[in-house]
């Protein structure tokens, strides 16, 4: 299906298909078919009834708009769907219609359908996360030694490498991917409890039926119904929220690095990509904008879901009814952010020369910490700090580099050698553990155990 215009910045076409009317309907019908077949195999209902139910369970044969209107009246999609399914089955086999939805309740349909949709969405999300992860690994490898200005509180700081920055994105997203996979794996459980969560309508055969239904739908059969226990879904929503935040951090960095004043990276372009309706020169960070929009929406949606968890007794009023649109929106928001950042990472241009220019433009002030440490061993840390504050005053620099200004400060001539001043503004001489951190974050390092001194 095509994405609705109002959702065009909030989802991707594959995820819009997952949560389309047809897909939602088919997920509910799939539950009914699996239930009928399981009950027929256990001789609870006739085999002929199961065949008739399966034959009537095609989403394209139902009027989604009419079912939507009826759902608003019924308070659950299960009631109008079961009624419509019985009508279809009755046209083939009048007796079989009585066995539709045998022993189940309307929330069993809705919850299991949501889980089936989540299962389909998980494949799409993980494929795009794999793309993003691989693209970031390539960026890290290519730019492991590409030096750039480090930035703290939006101000220039000591140098880092772009490889380290990309490795930071990678580490966070890799953790988010693992967290999401784990939470979805735990959430892929059948909902089947009947009216009060006891399956009393099936006598002592309820668990056997449930286990069979779960096998047919390739879901796990839980230890008990979860009609008012929403922790598994909450974990998925929270995992999406954390992942969206990580993607938003990456998007924020990229959009800032794309500012005209920095121009250190660029999102992939192409026809109608990143342009402006009025300014021909513009190359806007569109993927970052879409990702940041998603990252802005998801926390509120996550909070909404968590506030719905206080559900009463065995079946709730209003709690789970709020979840379909919430979960759908969270999954699609995370999905469009993942896809946007995957496309960005795969085509990101990195201007190493511009990064070096911006580093040089600091006139060496980003190495003030390095100079203070060199001086600290000679004149004391506090004195060195105060001298460097004076040396980096724009009035003191007057267009000179930091090392040039330090040479002309009489109180420092006996404490900093010519060699130290010559190497002061060499960025590769002040990268510390950047390479080791980069290797660890990208998973390419063999970690060593560092012992504390004196032990």
* Tens digits of residue pLDDT in 367-409: 888 888 888 877 888 888 888 888 787 777 777 888 888 777 7
Which residue is listed with tokens 């890799």?
Answer: 174
Record the pTM.
Answer: 0.92
Together in a domain, 240 and 377: no
Domain end (from 99, 119, 154): 99
- C-beta of residue 81 within 8 angstroms of C-beta of residue 28: yes
Together in a domain, 143 and 179: yes
Which residue is listed with tokens 């990252």?
Answer: 295
Together in a domain, 253 and 290: yes
What pLDDT does 319 receive?
85
The reply to whether 216 falls in a domain is: no
Together in a domain, 267 and 137: yes
What pLDDT does 13 receive?
96
Which residue is listed with tokens 């939602």?
Answer: 24
What positions carry a catalytic annotation? 276, 315
Residue 319's region, left for phi above 0, alpha for psi from -120 to 50, else beta, is alpha
Together in a domain, 141 and 82: no
Together in a domain, 131 and 29: no
The reply to whether 432 falls in a domain is: yes
The reply to whether 411 falls in a domain is: yes
The reply to whether 203 falls in a domain is: no
Together in a domain, 305 and 244: yes
What pLDDT does 411 receive?
73
Together in a domain, 172 and 308: yes
Q: Which helix (H) or strand (E) holds 160?
A: strand 155-161
CB atoms under 10 Å from CB of 204, counted, come to 8
Together in a domain, 311 and 280: yes
Together in a domain, 110 and 59: no
- C-beta of residue 331 within 8 angstroms of C-beta of residue 121: yes
Together in a domain, 139 and 17: no
The reply to whether 313 falls in a domain is: yes
Tally of domains in the chain: 3
Together in a domain, 158 and 268: yes
Domain end (from 323, 355, 387): 355
Cα–Cα nearest to 231, from 198, 199, 183: 183
Q: What is the CATH number of the domain that holds 95?
A: 1.10.275.10
The reply to whether 447 falls in a domain is: no
Domain end (from 73, 99, 125): 99
Cα–Cα nearest to 138, from 434, 436, 342: 342
What pLDDT does 283 receive?
75
The reply to whether 214 falls in a domain is: no
For residue 18, give its domain range.
5-99
* Tens digits of residue pLDDT in 288-346: 999 999 999 999 999 999 999 999 999 999 888 899 999 999 999 999 999 999 999 99
Instruction: Name the stretches of the chain with pLDDT < 70.
Output: 1, 270-282, 412-413, 444-455
Whole-number Å distance between alpha carbons of 175 and 272: 34
The reply to whether 217 falls in a domain is: no
Q: What is the CATH number of the domain that holds 257?
A: 1.20.200.10
């Amino acid at each position: 299906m095509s994405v609705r215009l109002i959702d065009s910045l909030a989802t991707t076409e594959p995820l819009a298909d997952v949560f389309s009317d047809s897909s939602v309907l088919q997920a509910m019908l799939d539950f009914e078919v699996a239930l009928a077949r399981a009950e027929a195999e256990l001789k609870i209902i006739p085999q002929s009834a199961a065949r008739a139910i399966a034959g009537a369970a095609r989403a394209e044969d139902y009027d989604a708009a009419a079912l939507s209107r009826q759902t608003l009246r019924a308070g659950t999609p299960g009631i109008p769907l079961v009624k419509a399914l019985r009508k279809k089955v009755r046209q083939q086999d009048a007796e079989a219609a009585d066995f539709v939805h045998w022993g189940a309740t309307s929330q069993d349909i809705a919850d299991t359908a949501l889980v089936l949709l989540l299962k389909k969405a998980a494949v799409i999300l993980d494929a795009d996360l794999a793309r993003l992860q691989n693209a970031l690994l390539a960026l890290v490898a290519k730019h492991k030694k590409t030096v750039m200005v480090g930035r703290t509180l939006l101000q220039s700081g000591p140098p880092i490498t772009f490889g380290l920055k990309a490795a930071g994105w990678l580490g966070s997203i890799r953790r988010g991917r693992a967290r999401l996979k784990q939470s979805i794996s735990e959430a892929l459980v059948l909902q089947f409890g009947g009216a009060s969560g006891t399956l009393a309508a099936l006598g002592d055969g309820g668990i056997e039926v449930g286990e069979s239904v779960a096998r047919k739908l390739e879901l796990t059969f839980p230890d008990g119904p979860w009609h008012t226990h929403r922790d598994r879904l909450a974990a998925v929503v929270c995992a999406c929220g954390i992942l969206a935040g990580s993607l938003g951090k990456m998007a924020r960095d990229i959009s800032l690095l794309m500012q005209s004043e920095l121009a250190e990276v660029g999102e992939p372009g192409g026809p109608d990509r990143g342009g402006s309706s009025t300014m021909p020169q513009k190359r806007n960070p569109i993927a970052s904008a879409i990702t940041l929009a998603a990252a802005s929406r998801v926390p509120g949606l996550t909070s909404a879901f968590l506030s719905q968890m206080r559900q009463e007794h065995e079946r709730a009023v209003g709690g789970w009814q709020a979840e379909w649109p919430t979960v759908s929106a969270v999954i699609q928001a995370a999905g469009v952010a993942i896809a946007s950042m995957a496309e960005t990472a795969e085509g990101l241009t990195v201007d190493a020369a511009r990064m070096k220019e911006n580093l040089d433009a600091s006139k060496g002030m980003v190495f003030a910490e390095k100079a203070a440490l060199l001086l600290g061993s000679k004149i004391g840390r506090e004195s060195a700090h105060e001298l460097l504050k004076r040396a980096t005053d724009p009035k003191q620099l007057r267009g000179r580099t930091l090392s040039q200004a330090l040479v002309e400060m009489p109180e420092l001539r006996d404490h900093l050698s010519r060699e130290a001043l010559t190497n002061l503004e060499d960025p590769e001489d002040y990268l510390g553990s950047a390479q080791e951190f980069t290797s660890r974050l990208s998973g390419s390092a063999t970690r060593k155990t560092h012992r504390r001194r004196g032990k």
